Amino acid sequence: MLDTLLSTVPLDALAVRMLATAFVVMAVSWAVGAFGPLIGGALAGLPIILGPGFYFLAAQAPAAFVAQTAAYALLSLCATQCFLLCYIAVAARTPPWTSLGCAVGAWLLAALALRQLPAQPVAGALLFIAVTALCLRIGRRFLLPRGPAKGKAGFGLLALRGLLAGTLVAAVTTASQWLGATGAGLLLAFPIGYSVVAITLHQKLGTASLIATLYSALLGTASLAAFCAALALAAPHWTPNAALAWALAASMTFTLALVIRRRLAMAR
């Protein structure tokens, strides 16, 4: 299978996908680190991994496949909310890597259950709203009174996050014909960025800042859901570039609304 994969897609194309995604992830991650947990959690919802992933996928796959993959990515984001909630719940009692292991386990269990559902963007969006509301309600009890601190990610973190994200996108988009729409959609939305950020914040800024950031990210992830839902609905009817532009606009509009809302709340 590996020989077939490498002969189908040139290595230079794989390198371009990896480096392009890594650059986008590093640039946005640096910006997120400069704004602190509350606004940073909202900005973290920008499709910095899903965007490049679906761009490359749309260039090589039929529109129906792209739409179905986006619908499954939307379901995978429900599992991402479970990932965030689990990390929030155990962070105060367990070390970083143990917390991450628990969160990944929660994501895996949720993803395995969600992959049995049909890929319908409207139903997926409603399910995401319900899961997010529940996670916000439960996660609120784990917030710590200590105010979150700002912190900029070092170059090592940015490089690691970019490399991991680039590798994920290159692998999933290249192997999409073997993974199918279900596998590609679930893996593209795997919270690799949240994993790297959670470990780093837990180690460097402490539990209170970590929990505040991840709790904020529960709502920020809705921007990713808006991207996936918009793409799943538009891909069968529009050109790939138009569908991607519409999905990106939906995501950025939601993110902008969150940032403005939180800036107003912080100013009070």
pLDDT digits (tens, 9 = 90+) for 177-201: 677 777 877 777 888 778 877 887 7
d(CA 55, CA 70): 12
46 inside domain: yes
Number of domain units in the chain: 1
145 inside domain: yes
3 inside domain: no
Residue 8, pLDDT above cutoff 90: no
Residues of the chain with pLDDT > 70, as a percent, come to 70
182 inside domain: yes
2 inside domain: no
Within 8 A by CB and 6+ apart from 266, the residues are: 38
Residue 261, pLDDT above cutoff 70: yes
174 inside domain: yes
5 inside domain: no
Residue reference for tokens 């991402």: 80
The domain of 165 spans 11-267
Residue 150, pLDDT above cutoff 60: no
pTM: 0.81
Within 8 A by CB and 6+ apart from 190, the residues are: 76, 80, 107, 168
Within 8 A by CB and 6+ apart from 247, the residues are: 47, 54, 70, 226, 227, 228, 230, 231, 234
pLDDT band of 206, cuts 50, 70, 90? confident
Cβ atoms 226, 250 nearer than 8 A: yes
More confident residue, 26 or 85: 85
253 inside domain: yes
Residue in 215, 45, 194 with CA at minimum distance from that of residue 143: 215
What is the 3-class SS of 170-184, one letter each residue? HHHHHCHHHHHHHHH
The average pLDDT across 46-56 equals 81
